[in-house]
Amino acid sequence: MQRLCVMGLGYIGLPAAAMLASRGHQVTGCDTDPRVVAAVQAGQAHFQEPDLDMLLAAALTTGRLAAQAVPAPAEVFVIAVPTPLGPGNRADLASVEAATDAIAPLLRPGNLVILESTVPVGTTEALAARLAAARPDLALPRRGFPAPPGCVHLAHCPERVLPGSMLRELVANDRIIGGLTADCAALARDLYAGFVTGRCWVTDSRTAELAKLAENAFRDVNIAFANELAAICEAMEVDPWAAIALANRHPRVAILQPGAGVGGHCIAVDPWFLAEAAPAASGLIRAARAVNEAKPGQVAARIRALAAGLAGGLEPPAVACLGLTYKADVEDLRASPALAIAEDLARDATLRLLCCDPLLATLPPTLAARPGVVLVDVQAALAQADILAILVPHAAFRALSREVFAGRPVVDAVGLLRPA
C-alpha cells in the first residue's frame, strides 16, 4: 500500500484515483473545482461513466479515497489535468505547470511523480527542470543519465482509455511507462502492474510522449481519409458507406467510417502537439486536421442548402439536430463536431433549431442563449422537423424504425441509415 495524490479529478484522474483506491492504496484526489470535489465527496462522478459511481462509493466507504482542493503528502503523485489547445493551436500546459507547482513543496526524496496528461514531447523533462528550480534541495533525474541517489523520480505514463469503457480499458489495456531514467520507469511500472492486466511497456519519457501523440494522430489521419473519401463519393453520386464496405473486403484494407468531424479530448487536439514540435515535417498531420476541422462546416452547409429549398412558408424551416455530443452514447461535449454544426445553424436567423440528445438534460450554454433553439425529445423532433440532421448515432436513434425518416429531407452525417 502506498499513499498517492492524484492531481485532477476529471475524465482521467477520477477513474484512476478510484481504481488505485480499490487496489488498497490510500488516495487523495485533488481538484481546483469545488463542485468536482463536492461531487466526489458525495460519491458521485461529475460525468457519466458506467460503474464509476459504484467504484467511487466503494473507495469512499473503505476510507481509501478522499477528495480535497489542495494536494496532500504522498509517496506517489499522479498529474492528470487537461492539456487543451491554446492560441495558434499550441499546447496549453498551464494546468500541468500549476499542478507541478502545487506538489513541489510536498516532495521528498524517493517520491515518484507520474504525468498522465497527454503532452508535447519533452514535457516530462521540463517538469523535472521546473521542480529542480522550485526545490533546489532535492535531486532530480535527467534523461539519459543514471538516477542520482535519493532523487525524486519522474515518469510519463499516458492514459489510454475510451469514454464509455474507461474502467475496463484502465485495467485491460497495455500501458506505456516512460521514465526519465530506468529507475523512474521501474517504479512506475511496479505501480501500474498492481492493477493493469495488459502489458506494461517500459521506455524513456520522450518515446512515451511521442507514442501517445502518434496513436491519436494515426486515428485523425485515417478519419480524415474516410471523410475526404466521403466527399469524393458525394460528388460522384456514390454511397460512401457502401463503397468503403466493399473496399474493406480487401484483406489489407481497413478504411474507417466517415462522420460529422472529429471530437473529444484527444484526437482533435493531440496531433497539433506533433505539428507544433516539427512544423516542416508534419504536412500530412496538418492536412488531416484541415480536412476534419472543415467537416462540420460542410455538413452545416448541406443542411442550409436543403432549408433554402423549403423557405417561403409561414415559419422558418425547422431543423432537428439529432445528437450534440462528440460520439455515440457518451455525454461528453468536448470539441464535438455535432455541437459545432448546431452552433453554426443557430446563428442563422432563417432557421428554427430543434436539438435532440437523449444524453443531455439541458442545452449547452452556447445554444441556450440563442433565440429559436430548443431542446426536445426524439418524438417531438420527429414530429416537428422539416429537415432531419443525424449528427451522432446514439443508441436511441439507432433503435428508430427507418420509416420515421421517410418523407422529408435527411442529412445523415454518420451513416445511420446506410443499408446493412
- Tell me: the pLDDT tens digits for 52-68? 999 999 999 999 999 99
pLDDT at position 315, please? 83
Q: In what order do the strands lie in the sheet with 352-356?
A: 373-375, 352-356, 318-322, 387-390, 410-412
**Which pLDDT score is estimated for 312?**
66
Check whether 224 has a pLDDT greater than 90: yes
| Pair (81, 180) in one structural domain | yes
DSSP state of 349: T
Q: How far is CA 66 from the centre of its chain?
A: 25
Rounded Cα–Cα distance for residues 116 and 354 (Å):
39
Does residue 111 sit within a domain?
A: yes
Longest alpha-carbon distance in the chain: 79
Looking at residue 265, the DSSP 8-state letter turns out to be: S
Does residue 348 share a domain with residue 201? Answer: no
Among candidates 153, 201, 158, 219, which has minimal Cα distance to 181?
153
The pLDDT tens digits of the residues spanning 87-143 come to: 999 999 999 999 999 999 999 999 999 999 999 999 999 999 999 999 999 999 998
Q: Using an 8 Å Cβ cutoff, are 120 and 277 in contact?
A: yes
Alpha carbon dihedral 394, 395, 400, 405, in 10-degree steps, equals 20
DSSP tally for the chain: helices H, then strands E: 15, 13
Looking at the chain, the whole-number percentage of residues with pLDDT higher than 90 is 92
What gap in Å lies between CA 253 and CA 248, rounded to an integer?
5
Residue 191 has what pLDDT?
97
Q: How many CB atoms lie within 10 A of CB 295?
A: 24
User: How many Å apart are CA 44 and CA 46, to the nearest integer?
Assistant: 6
pLDDT exceeds cutoff 90 at 299: yes
Task: For strands 153-156 and 175-179, give the pairing.
Answer: antiparallel
Q: pLDDT tens digits, residue range 301-324?
A: 999 999 998 876 678 899 999 999
Nearest 10 degrees: Cα torsion 54, 17, 204, 139: -170
- Name the domain boundary from 157, 180, 213: 213
pLDDT at 147: 86
Residue-level pLDDT at 244: 96
pLDDT in tens, 236-283: 999 999 999 999 999 999 999 999 999 998 999 999 999 999 999 999
- Point out which residues pair with 355 in neighbouring strands: 321, 375
- Give the Cα separation of 55 and 75 in Å (integer): 23
Whether residue 206 lies inside any domain: the answer is yes
What does the mean pLDDT of the chain come to? 95
* Domain span at 334: 296-412
Catalytic residues: 212, 266
161 touches 188 (CB < 8 A): no
- Which domain-ending residue is among 213, 247, 279? 213
Other CB atoms within 10 Å distance of the CB of residue 254: 10
User: What pLDDT is attached to residue 194?
Assistant: 95
Q: Is residue 225 part of a domain?
A: no
**Average pLDDT of the residues in 328-340:** 96
Total tally of structural domains belonging to the chain: 2
Q: pTM higher than 0.85, yes or no? A: yes
Q: Where a domain ends, among 168, 191, 213?
A: 213
CATH classification at residue 325: 3.40.50.720
Q: What is the pLDDT of residues 162-217, one digit of tens each?
A: 888 999 999 999 999 999 999 999 999 999 999 999 999 999 999 999 999 999 99
How many Cβ atoms sit within 10 Å of the Cβ of residue 346?
Answer: 23
pLDDT average, residue stretch 397-402: 95
Does 165 map to a domain? yes
